[in-house]
Structure 1
Amino acid sequence: MNGDAPSGRGPVSKTRPPSTRTTKRDKKRIHWAPLNIGLERRLQTLIVLCHTLTIVLFLCSFFFTCAIPPILAPPPPLPSLHLPILNSTNIRRPQMPKEEELPPTKKYIFGYHPHGIISHGAFAAFGTEALGFKKLFPGITNTLLTLDSNFRIPFYRDYALAMGIASVSRESCENLLSKGGANGEGMGRAITIVIGGARESLNAQPHSLRLVLKRRKGFVKLAIRTGADLVPVLAFGENDLYQQVDSDEHPIIQKVQMLVKSTMGFTIPLFHARGVFNYDVGLMPYRRPLNIVVGRPIPVMQQSNRDMIDDSYIDELHAKYVEELQRLWDTWKDVYAKDRNGELEIIS
């Protein structure tokens, strides 16, 4: 009808059609999850919930144990965790297509984009075998990296170490890429870095892709010092897993977030998604497709002496890396980002 008056029937009522009122009212309702969901799906939800709230849960556990001194006895070393339920995660239909084979006779730095709110895709693809990393890249041993400050959180440190996650500090990166492997000098080793970091999480708006990358060149210098090839990785759907308050529209919130980042090393986006028993309110990620595309490796010539690294070579590799990311976006956007609101943006 679109508000057109039928001829000969008098003035049009200003009251909206019942169907429209129902639709808008329906959007405000909380949609509850059905009770007849299978056990496997419930277990998937439980695992994702626990992983999402790990820092909060472990901090609460630490303060609780501080209140009961006998509990503070040193815990036994945690074994390496294996969570087979993550092979079918709460993120719907995860996929990880690759464009080229990566020979295990080299070292690699996987640069993961975007950060998103919690980097669920990076954890699923490079911190577990949910997407079959070992089958996709045989002979390559990969380590997912996170902020060094996360290893200062009581109990969470043990959880991260048990999952095989390491610090993103320079010493940690160089150690992982220079020892072990087939020749004892790091060949066949790889690390995964979420390049945009905490700052990029503030740009994690659904159906958009804004990457903090223009001035991020530390990973390029690391690649030159260790001789590791650079491999861009683009995750289509990472930003769609949560809804976030746009900090650009709320200057006070943005100032508080940047203050937290400058003092603590991480930031706190104001976000929500679904809950355990509903689909509208909570900290669980939405069950939406997440497709992670691994790009072509960019060869790097090693120069272990930091003082002899040419700035022009750093800029050249950085430009090639950005160009490869742009190519990945242009190649796959019509496949995995059909509902996008804009194009890829490279910001500060």
Structure 2
Amino acid sequence: MSSQGWTPGSLLGAKDAAHANLLTAASASHIKVTLKDDTLGLGARLGRQGEQTGLDAFKGLLGRLNGKSDEELKKDERKLEDVRLARYASLKFPEVRFVRAGLLEHEKEPVSTLVPKEETTKKSKSNEKKRSQPGDDETSSSESDTPARKSKKTKSKSKSKSKKSRSREETDSESSSESKKKKKSKKRKAESEDADKAAEVKKPAVSRERQPMGRQVLRARHIAQKKRAMLDDKSLNERRLQTFIVLCHTLTIAIFLTAFFFTCAIPIFWPLLVPYLVYISLFSTAATSGDLKGRSPFLRSLPIWKVYASYFPASLHREETLPPTKKYIFGYHPHGIISHGAFAAFGTEALGFSKLFPGITNTLLTLDANFRIPFYREYALAMGVASVSRESCENILTKGGSDGEGMGRAITIVVGGARESLNAQPNTLRLVLKRRKGFVKLAIRTGADLVPVLAFGENELYDQVDSDQHPYIHKFQMFIKKTMGFTVPLFHARGVFNYDVGLMPYRHPLNIVVGRPIPVMQQQNRDKIDDQYIDELHSRYVEELLRLWDQWKDVYAKDREGELEIIS
């Protein structure tokens, strides 16, 4: 317009127009030129609300020309930015809605720990003052009074305040000595309150989260094991291999029986199977002869047994070295459900038995009935396992060895037996030992020293039905033990693909501690063995077990629910 000759204060329109005489200089003062902020151009169409275009910065420039402040322009820019972010979030995360975060219920601290004492005392004092002033409600309700009444009230208040101040000055001059004493007492009270506050600050806030009890502790432990399993591929593959080997060992009898029945289904193997069954049932003495001819050091030293022991993990500890010039009877406690610790420590070289006790040939003993199972007996003999019968024990400790009379040989007996497996409850240790003296008599006849062994963690590998809570089930289990020689404990642990139910043992550390040997004087004549000497050796054996428990319970049995019990 200025390029066309228009100047501020001049009239708009042609001067020679028909209505030019109607325009005056006053009309020129109301003319104001404004530039529209959202004008994009001729023929342009505004987008949707909040949609940004390339002329947004130009809009701000036009707004400044129109007199908008920088704060207003920044507010507009913030609104556009919020809309843009909201649109981006709705397109990127269509099903996600972001809300304000807060604390969980058990993470909230009690209110008493958050509010200091000063604020509570102030609030209580203010409440007392309000109660002592009955006219407060009236003054609050009369806020809508006229200004004259308000002025009267203020004057009366000022007069009363002046009277009170005069009376206070008179009383202060008279009771100056008493005020000093009160100040000293107040200081002492303040110091004591500060000390109380400091003590309260040091006290941690009590969490409202419910602490797990009893079996829930085990469940939490298994959940933690599941979280640890979420590791890298290498460690995950190692854990899978450990699980597979332990599963195979747990189902060893079932695997060999399956293989036997499979071969029985093939007629070509019948001429071999019939003589084999007759031999192992009637004529075989390999499990009781004490020759240990079927023992395979190669099979006992395979690397898979170290993988088996690392599943728990298991470890073997000794308190004293044992000279290889003597014989030994290792008494393993407790029996547990399957005695995984006994197999790892004394049935294989996974825990390094030959390195801890060099020169000693140890033989793990099991039920004689296991050597009547086809195919499985060959595997057991190759692992160096023998029968727990009296004949087998005497033959092992009196034949072979460095001197041909059993020197340097040892046997491992799970003294509690099947009866003790019914008492295998987690975090408890109840040993069936009070009337078990047969192994003591065996030690006297063969001249073998007694070596107590305590396995921490054996009872924690499985859960089973408590015999005290289910007496009828316990009676049925004892009936099977008397008639068949073995028990059927109702147990469970974890599975292969789950952590709740299955026959796989829990991943719990096994710490097998070998105690000090108890020397025994040999008496080969059974009729001349003194009963007092048997009782003396038995009591010394029990004392050594109790010493092992007291020495290592705080290290390997931190979650125990009771002390060691010796039952009959």
TM-score w.r.t. the length of structure 2 is 0.55
Secondary structure of the residue that 2:369 maps to in structure 1?
helix
Percent of matched pairs sharing the same residue: 76
Match of 1:263 among 465, 483, 492: 483
**In the aligned structure 1, how far is the partner of 2:347 from the partner of 2:333?**
15
Query: Which residue of 125, 128, 134 maps to 2:345?
Result: 125
1:314 aligns with 2:534: yes
- What is aligned with 1:100? 320
- Closer, same or farther in 2 for the Cα pair 1:4/1:120, shift >3 Å? same
Q: Measured at CA, do residues 101 and 86 of structure 1 come closer, stay the same or move farther in structure 2, by a change above 3 Å?
A: same
Taking structure 1 as reference, are residues 310 and 79 closer, same or farther at Cα in structure 2, changes over 3 Å only? closer
Match among 87, 90, 95 for residue 306 of structure 2: 87
Check whether the contact 2:295–2:381 (CA below 8 A) recurs between aligned residues: no
Deviations 1:38-95 (A, max 9, x none): 3333222211111111122223333333333323454899883243122132543322
Q: Which residue does 2:523 correspond to in 1?
A: 303
1:242/1:272 contact within 8 Å kept: yes
Q: Mark the runs of 5 or more structure 2 residues left unpaired by the alignment.
A: 1-104, 113-207, 211-215, 277-292
Q: Secondary structure at the match of 1:115?
A: coil
- Give deviations 1:114-143, integer Å, cap 9, x for gaps: 000000000000000111000000111110
* 1:42 paired to 2:240: yes
- What residue is the counterpart of 1:288 in the other structure? 508
Are 2:273 and 1:54 aligned? Answer: no
SS at match of 1:206: coil
Q: Is the 8 A contact 1:115 1:195 kept in 2?
A: yes
Q: Hey, what's the Cα distance between the residues in 1 that align with 2:295 and 2:389? A: 24
Question: What secondary structure sits across from 2:316 in the alignment?
Answer: coil
Please list the CA deviations of residues 288-308 of structure 1 after superposition, one character each: whole Å capped at 9, or x if unmatched: 110000000000000111111
- Structure 2 Cα separation of the partners of residues 180 and 203 of structure 1: 37
Which residue identity is paired with 2:506?
Y
- Mapping 1:64-75, distance limit 5 Å: 64-72=262-270, 74=272
User: What CA deviation, in whole Å up to 9, does each residue of 1:136-167 have, x standing for no partner?
Assistant: 00111110000111111222211211111000
Give the conservation status (yes or no) of the 8 Å contact 1:100–1:296: yes
Give the whole-Å Cα distance in 1 for the aligned partners of 2:365 and 2:494: 27
Match of 1:251 in 2: 471
Amino acid aligned to 1:161: L
What is aligned with 1:275? 495
Q: Is the 8 A contact 1:196 1:213 kept in 2?
A: yes
Partner deviation per Cα, 1:177-225 (whole Å, 9 max, x = no partner): 0011111111110000000000000011011100000110110000000
The 5 A counterparts of 1:53-202 are 53-72=251-270, 74=272, 80=296, 81-82=299-300, 83-88=302-307, 89-202=309-422
Q: Which residue of 2 aligns with 1:14?
A: none
Equivalent pairs, count: 335
Report the alpha carbon displacement of residue 285 of structure 1 after superposing the two structures with TM. 0.9
* Higher RCO structure, 1 or 2 (CA under 8 Å, sep 6+): 1
Match of 2:75 in 1: none
Task: Determine the C-alpha separation between the residues in 2 that align with 1:133 and 1:72.
Answer: 41
The range that moved more, 270-279 or 318-327, is 270-279
**Structure 1 spans left out of the alignment, 5+ residues:** 8-17
Shift of 1:6: 7.3
| Aligned mates of 2:448, 2:295 — CA distance in 1 | 30
Rounded Cα–Cα distance in structure 2 between residues aligned with 1:265 and 1:251: 20
> Residue 554 of structure 2: which of 334, 337, 340 is its match?
334
> What is the aligned counterpart of 1:323 among 530, 537, 543?
543
Equivalent pair of 2:362/2:412 in contact (CA under 8 Å): yes
AA at the equivalent of 2:265? A
| Distance in 2 separating the partners of 1:243 and 1:119 | 14
d(CA) in 1 for partners of 2:265, 2:417: 34
Distance 1:229 1:165 in 2: 20
Over 3 Å counting, the alpha-carbon distance change for 1:43 and 1:73 in structure 2 is farther
Any conservation in 2 of the 1:44–1:86 contact (CA below 8 Å)? Answer: no
Contact 2:239 2:311 (C-alpha < 8 Å) held by counterparts: no
Higher relative helix content: 2
Pair member with larger Rg: 2
Q: TM-score, normalised by structure 1?
A: 0.88
Report the alpha carbon displacement of residue 170 of structure 1 after superposing the two structures with TM: 0.6
**Contact 2:242-2:311 at 8 Å conserved across structures:** no
RMSD: 2.9
2:315 aligns to what SS in structure 1?
Answer: coil
